[in-house]
Chains A and B, each alone.
Chain A
């Protein structure tokens, strides 16, 4: 499988990303909390640049033991958001938050020495 250069490891800070274009492939490569993730940059909804939006944690309702509502907060699950319409994807799986059956194509990321590659 062909490998495409992404960046030198030292150039990717926590939360950084790169968009890799190779032939018909357009891939978003994220570096977050010591791990690399790579997904198709085409949103499952309308084809928007899914990997080019903000990173934001999943919003959750706080429901008390007696089932009353106590407000909202962010969970630990990190999402990247398609900037066209707001479709959110789990950065660890590429699953769409609104319907987990929808997934972005996942690509393998490998590190060779000080350089990062994505396998297309």
Chain B
């Protein structure tokens, strides 16, 4: 019998570390020499609900703060914040969602979320990460606009003071309380120059049209300070059309495209790229296929209906090609020539920015881009980090420590 030396591991579901959970990602990072070049993740997440007591302490209204704090003690009954039906964790199949509670911090960083974020960033080979909240992605659907404004302001204060001020590798595009245009404007005014704030983000599920005149001063201010606006996709099972869907796969597949398709259409048709030519616009977490589809569709109609969008001087796709797109979830077809065509349509070499969406259930690794056979090495590096570094004005020096 030919015996070889080997190691045998038993699984322990009562402990969790990002380094262990992502060990195979680290193997990829080493094999592909990620240590040699910059990788920027433009869309990752933390679970701000794990720190609601801290976040709520920043709510300015004493009445609303009392309501919010008391809601923590109520547990799941009669919540202060809205939520969404949805089984994103695949009924326990995505095990890290439940195992996170076993994560033990060492205390070496100022905050648990800094430590856990840096640990998975290093494990994947990421230098900088743009961090977003999780449950707050649905806050634009809260029936009380005051709650969106108050919580957004509290969260932005908390994020700037507790996270961004202490960790240069973590940046964010801050939440804009878009249901109140004046509050959105104030948010940019008050937080635009804070450390680590690389732009501002609109959560897409909501029912306010982006071309409303009330938003023009906010876009103008963003353009003036040179920071991008982004639209972070999510779903709403309460949307009238999506109420017809009976499975989460349907709501997720459609919902994450649906709201961004509407916002993009309004943005382009109403000539906002002509009105704000220097304002970078980034579309997050809708994948790539929606943009390709919408470019063709709008161009087709535009040639017959220029009177509907007289502000445009070019075809809609030409404006869309100048915008930025985050890569995740990258829908990879069996026939890669289709994906290659999509990359060409959106000018991926200069406008596609890699994102992980980690730790959410459908996250992507850098290899989702690095392993594409039709990309040259420089294109890979642009998409994985160079484009985002230019967009966010980040230092291009590699700072990660792959384990």
Give chain B residues whose Cβ lies under 8 Å from the Cβ of A1. Answer: 2
Among A22, A46, A49, A83, the residue within 8 A (CB) of B365 is: A46
CB-CB contacts below 8 Å: B347-403 with A: 361-365, 367-368
Among B1, B6, B94, the residue within 8 A (CB) of A85 is: B94
Q: Which of A6, A42, A86 neighbours the largest number of chain B CB atoms within 10 Å of its CB? A: A86
Q: Would you call B11 and A21 a contact (CB within 8 A)?
A: no
A91 at the interface (CB under 8 A from B): no
Give chain A residues whose Cβ lies under 8 Å from the Cβ of B11. Answer: 17, 19, 52
**CB within 8 Å: A-B pair count:** 80
Interface of A is mostly: strand
Q: How far is the CB of A47 from chain B (nearest CB, A)?
A: 5
Q: Would you call B6 and A20 a contact (CB within 8 A)?
A: yes
Q: Would you call B9 and A47 a contact (CB within 8 A)?
A: no
Among B2, B7, B21, B365, the residue within 8 A (CB) of A21 is: B7
A44 at the interface (CB under 8 A from B): no
Q: Would you call B365 and A5 a contact (CB within 8 A)?
A: no
- On whether A21 and B93 interact (CB within 8 A), knowing A2-B3, A42-B24, the answer reads no
Residue of A nearest to B89 (CB): A86
A66-B194 Cα distance, complex, nearest whole Å: 63
Q: How far is the CB of A30 from chain B (nearest CB, A)?
A: 11
B95 at the interface (CB under 8 A from A): yes
Residue of A nearest to B20 (CB): A49
- On whether A86 and B8 interact (CB within 8 A), knowing A5-B3, A47-B367, A49-B24, the answer reads no
B333 at the interface (CB under 8 A from A): no
A48-B368 Cα distance, complex, nearest whole Å: 13
Residue of B nearest to A59 (CB): B91
B265 at the interface (CB under 8 A from A): no
A5-B367 Cα distance, complex, nearest whole Å: 33
Q: How far is the CB of A119 from chain B (nearest CB, A)?
A: 9
A62-B21 Cα distance, complex, nearest whole Å: 36
Q: How far is the CB of B330 from chain A (nearest CB, A)?
A: 11
CB-CB contacts below 8 Å: A32-59 with B: 42, 46-49, 52-54, 56
Q: Would you call A49 and B23 a contact (CB within 8 A)?
A: yes
Residue of A nearest to B365 (CB): A46
Q: Would you call B8 and A5 a contact (CB within 8 A)?
A: yes
A86-B90 Cα distance, complex, nearest whole Å: 7
Q: How many residues of A contact B (CB 8 A)?
A: 31
A56-B96 Cα distance, complex, nearest whole Å: 16
A56-B89 Cα distance, complex, nearest whole Å: 14
Q: Would you call A22 and B94 a contact (CB within 8 A)?
A: no
B92 at the interface (CB under 8 A from A): yes
Q: Would you call B4 and A2 a contact (CB within 8 A)?
A: yes
A85-B23 Cα distance, complex, nearest whole Å: 15
- On whether A21 and B361 interact (CB within 8 A), knowing A4-B4, A46-B367, A54-B92, the answer reads no
Among B3, B5, B10, B93, the residue within 8 A (CB) of A81 is: B93
Q: Would you call B24 and A22 a contact (CB within 8 A)?
A: no
Q: How far is the CB of B364 from chain A (nearest CB, A)?
A: 8
Among B2, B8, B28, B364, the residue within 8 A (CB) of A20 is: B8
Give chain B residues whose Cβ lies under 8 Å from the Cβ of A48. Answer: 24
- Beyond A3-B1, A52-B95, A112-B1, 12 extra complex contacts between A and B, CB < 8 Å: A3-B4, A5-B3, A19-B8, A19-B9, A21-B7, A21-B9, A22-B4, A22-B5, A47-B24, A47-B367, A81-B93, A88-B93
* 16 intermolecular pairs with C-beta atoms under 8 Å apart: A3-B1, A3-B4, A4-B4, A6-B8, A18-B8, A19-B8, A20-B8, A21-B6, A42-B24, A46-B365, A46-B367, A49-B24, A54-B92, A81-B93, A86-B93, A86-B94
